[in-house]
Amino acid sequence: SRLAKTFKKLVETAGKIPVVFMLIPDEFQLNDDLWKRVSARLDEREWDRFYVQKKVIPLLEKEGYSYLDLLPHLQAVPRLKDGLRHCYHLQDTHFNARGNSVAGKALANFLSKEMQLNAHKNSL
């Protein structure tokens, strides 16, 4: 696929520099009410809310690429009194402070493990 070729080209271009991929979900993947409103406006074709996770992750795993999917981390955020997680700015696709905190911690933990793994590989 074109995406697989793009990933391969990125990794080849990086040479000895380790490459990792991060999947950053859109708010409609996290917010059930928003998904209901969005999907109600779509045509009759079946739209898959988690298409990226179902298509991209298997491709990354098949090629042995390291990746971080932020969706499970954001899904683990406790809901507030109104039932929402509030990880995005209002009517904006960008994380707010809460979303950035979750993403930053997940990325820091992920990179720490990646660095340990790479150090171990290099010592063999």
The predicted-structure confidence for 94-115, as pLDDT tens digits, reads as follows: 999 999 999 999 999 999 999 8
β-bridge pairing 66-69 and 20-23: parallel
The pTM of this model reads 0.89
Which of 61 and 1 is assigned the larger pLDDT? 61
Q: What is the C-alpha to C-alpha distance for residues 98 and 93, in angstroms, rounded to an integer?
A: 14
The predicted-structure confidence for 38-88, as pLDDT tens digits, reads as follows: 888 887 677 899 999 999 999 999 999 999 999 999 999 999 999 999 999
The two tokens of residue 75 are 């899904």
